[in-house]
Chain A
């Protein structure tokens, strides 16, 4: 009966919503501060951010050595 199958579907939706409504959340200010801290802590180890020198980056053209 289509009536009972849509009830089953609705029950699933309600169950899912109950689950999602019940989770613990932190304030955006706290979450944002943590994201920022992670960025800053790892900034030095980020080659694309710091623009590491050609000698360390395997994809950048190597400096040419010349004999004097």
Chain B
């Protein structure tokens, strides 16, 4: 199967190379290809076959001519950077996206109208509106652009991973060349500390170990040898991967893939090529913009046509059109949303969640599935001794990060022996200069299990170094895969005792084979069947916990056979390795972080499904999943049920099992439907042994089921999934740069629990954005009604374009933003995540409440308050409401300088215009006054203000700021010229007070009914 697929892949790539130009058509196919498993087959070929395939020589390497030919054919061994959008395009996108197009239209129409006026009149009115509109668009555009400018640079960090130099053998000579010039078939040599220059098939190795953590996320060094040990190219020992590190030893290999064709290159291309969908909040905002734009254009055109029909001139109709568009568009809203999100992002950063992409703030709140990597996120990413078996009993060691867990009986002689074996038969040691650090925080040179043992012994028995000094090492056989054990011979502590102590550790069954006795309660006992069974049970039990188990044994070599100074030969073993005394077992695991089980529980109560996706083994993965609650207590997998009922797995109804542990190799063969089936029918899922491509497939599967997926991960292997996820969460400490680049958010403390904080903040901001939008919309929509009345009833214009902008961009901004600081109304972590299809940021109820008010023209408290102020001012100046109707034509006639009012007084044009602009100011002030009540109403959607309290200081500041700004605009000298706003008499400020009070009472009653009668008619019709 592997062959077939790889062949087809190779065909595909060669075709691709032949005709690079029709890239677009190929694009989709390429992505599908990339999502498939790595097509390497060379590991299964013999070295000769590989040589033949690449026409290279195992000793001489490629000829220079051949290398040059391949270099031309395959291109340099480097990752292709993704096509980047030029900065100016991004800027233009900001400048012309959203409402901007509408506002540009307004500004241009306005300018045209002005130009026509200027051409026909001596002294046209100033063209403030088009200037202001342009300024608004440009400023908000720049603002968003700079927010966006911190965009990701994924490929750059991949670039850094390309090794600079490589040692190749060409025509029999070793040459140091630039890594970019390495080609397929090259014979390369790597040694400890090097980065692997390309994907290579190992042909010879000497103690070579590589660290594949950048690829798999597991940092355990793996040995490399020429033998094929596994069908899967990612698992086999004879392939070393591009940009991984060689930790120790040396190796020689033939390059089989270069550049973008390498495993890493494929991940890089896959990551950068992934189309990330829009974030949920971006979709919401787009939805909202569509509604508003639609309504604005519809109303604008309707009234444009109406104005023409009613006999207005083209110019006037265009001015109406602009007025309606400007009134309809909440100019300040997008900026408000951005500011709200920024504020939340800042708040989250304080809680160790660094948000890279602003919109991701909310995404986390709407997340319904979290796919979490295991290592480093759920676990502490350090092996720790978890259990020990000695004296025929399992003892539990303390695995907590702060050593607060339970301890065991350390007085047993067996334990002392076990500790001695573990300390002596151990090559790990603490790095120098860390004496003041707590033991668990110290860095260790050595592999993970030995470090775990070292730390465990150091913690419970004191300095290991001192112990090793007392027991000098005389000989040692290091661990190898044939022996599966490691042994060393030491002098004893007792100076009078000249015997040598042989200590051994290794795979438990191998160690047991070497033993004939066992130490129980300090006494050697013959290893009978009963004890062997006890050993087996303990071994099974610990293994079943997903732990890595090591066996320990020792023996004091008899002095007569091995006198002092005996020359131990480790190559040709000349000493006893049988009939040893078994001491005990120790098992290690990478333990879960302390805060994780709680966090997983919180996620669950918040309705979020937590899926574990790991590269680790299924048993370990399952054990950790159980430990942290991803598989909750009492839930069984299909295999568990089968084992319990003692029936074959095939007879178990998969629907009975809520939990599921899925192996990566099984995943490969699943169809999309089967995949969906697993994701849908199991609430608790663990995916083990997954490759980067499979992680991506899992994420896509979840998204296909409509979930909003968060992915956490730290390795390069996670980056495609991180990118594809609705929100990718990378680890700040252990995470690779690539994963951080691909992610939208970074957990600075690597702690899964921080995600919960993020979810909470995300949900809160969604609620609060709803409030902000409700607040802005309820004042925005009434701004249209003055125009409608102006056109239909022919009264002087009650509210001008400039004043509308003053409301939208001036007084409304701070209160709307202050709503982002509002505390949650109820426990937001107890409810289900929002359904992106149903729970909209702006739902039809909000729209209908906002627009319903235009249907019955002007009958809403905001507009009524404004109109009342308008009528008061005109009446007190001599124009009673009855006179006003139909007065518009004469009112706006410049040549009419003796317009009569109700009392018979005659007004010049300029005199009555000042009154009109005073009315605009008063209308504006009235809206501000009604907005006082509105912002208090919008604080809560369900609770009464009296329950919620007025603890939001920013909101109180917002109230004062709004009022101060309104007063400033009205009374500041020069405003009459600049914005045509005039000072108000103090009494006019109070006109809107009754309306302000009225909506407050109305809304309190509405909320009371909603609370009294949950799910009732009032809630269904008016709850937004």
Q: Are A and B a genuine interacting pair, yes or no?
A: no
Chain A residues proximal to chain B, CB less than 8 Å: none
Q: Which residues of B contact A (CB under 8 A)?
A: none
